[in-house]
């Protein structure tokens, strides 16, 4: 199984964003998690296409764009055009989730769907054959720095059981409250892509990434 650390630039120092992205790349980080928030689906507002287009010019990382926006199907092509390699949309934000998934697929990038902590796996289980990744939010979407919600571990386990039973090629990503202890909890439950913000960016970025990647490798070796 492939494991990836997905640093969320929501916690980056935007005065040094380009420099910090270069540091991530030098440390072998392949995925960059980009949270787009509209102030409607979630209370906060983050950033959008101009930021992604700007950093795309200087980075070869995989841009994992997480749309925490209402009616995301309106913007799929725009985000692809400015550099997204995958687009994750919220099941709760779409009137026609199947159509939105189809639009992402037609745009030629990887497809992700996300669910809030209160949304049951059963709401999306019929769509797993159509996506590349499921993002299980382990905090309430919209704010950084929250604590991991323990009940979400069972959701990851349930999702992993379905994926294995149906022999699907679907990655499980978790986002929220990831730290030294919750990382192992999430990975043991079945998550292989870990989004982390303050855990990565607070303090010395280079040493943080080295330590986190080593810990992920140690855990993955135990699991395999």
143 is in an annotated binding site: yes
* DSSP letter (8 states) at residue 50: H
126 is in an annotated binding site: no
Q: Using CA atoms, how far apart are residues 169 and 132, in angstroms rounded to an integer?
A: 7
Q: Using CA atoms, how far apart are residues 22 and 25, in angstroms rounded to an integer?
A: 5
Element (H or E) spanning 185, and its range?
helix 180-189
What are 137's strand-pairing partners? 175
142 is in an annotated binding site: yes
- Residue 125's Cα: distance from chain center in Å? 18
Residues with a catalytic annotation lie at 35, 175
54 is in an annotated binding site: no
197 is in an annotated binding site: yes
48 is in an annotated binding site: no
112 is in an annotated binding site: no
Q: Where do we find the tokens 């992700």? A: 112
Q: Using CA atoms, how far apart are residues 74 and 130, in angstroms rounded to an integer?
A: 20
41 is in an annotated binding site: no
Annotated binding site: 8, 33, 35, 66, 142-145, 175-177, 197-198
Annotated binding site for substrate: 8, 66, 142-145, 175-177, 197-198
Annotated binding site for a divalent metal cation: 33, 35, 66, 175
């Amino acid at each position: 199984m492939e494991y990836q650390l997905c640093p969320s630039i929501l916690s980056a120092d935007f005065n040094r964003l380009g420099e910090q992205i270069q540091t991530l790349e030098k440390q072998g980080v392949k995925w960059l998690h980009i949270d787009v928030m509209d102030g409607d689906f979630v209370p906060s507002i983050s950033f959008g296409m101009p930021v992604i287009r700007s950093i795309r010019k200087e980075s070869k990382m995989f841009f994992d764009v997480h749309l925490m926006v209402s009616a995301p199907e309106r913007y799929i092509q725009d985000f692809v055009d400015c550099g997204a390699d995958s687009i994750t949309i919220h099941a709760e934000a779409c009137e026609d989730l199947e159509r939105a998934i189809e639009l992402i697929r037609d745009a030629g990038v990887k497809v992700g769907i996300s669910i809030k902590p209160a949304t049951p796996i059963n709401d999306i289980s019929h769509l797993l054959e159509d996506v590349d990744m499921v993002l299980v939010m382990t905090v309430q979407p919209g704010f950084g720095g929250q604590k991991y919600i323990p009940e979400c571990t069972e959701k990851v386990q349930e999702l992993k059981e379905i994926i294995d039973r149906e022999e699907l090629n679907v990655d499980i990503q978790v986002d929220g409250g990831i730290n030294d202890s919750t990382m192992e909890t999430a990975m043991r439950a079945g998550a292989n892509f870990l989004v982390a913000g303050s855990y990565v960016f607070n303090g010395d970025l280079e040493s943080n990434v080295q330590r986190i990647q080593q810990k992920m490798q140690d855990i993955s070796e135990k699991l395999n």
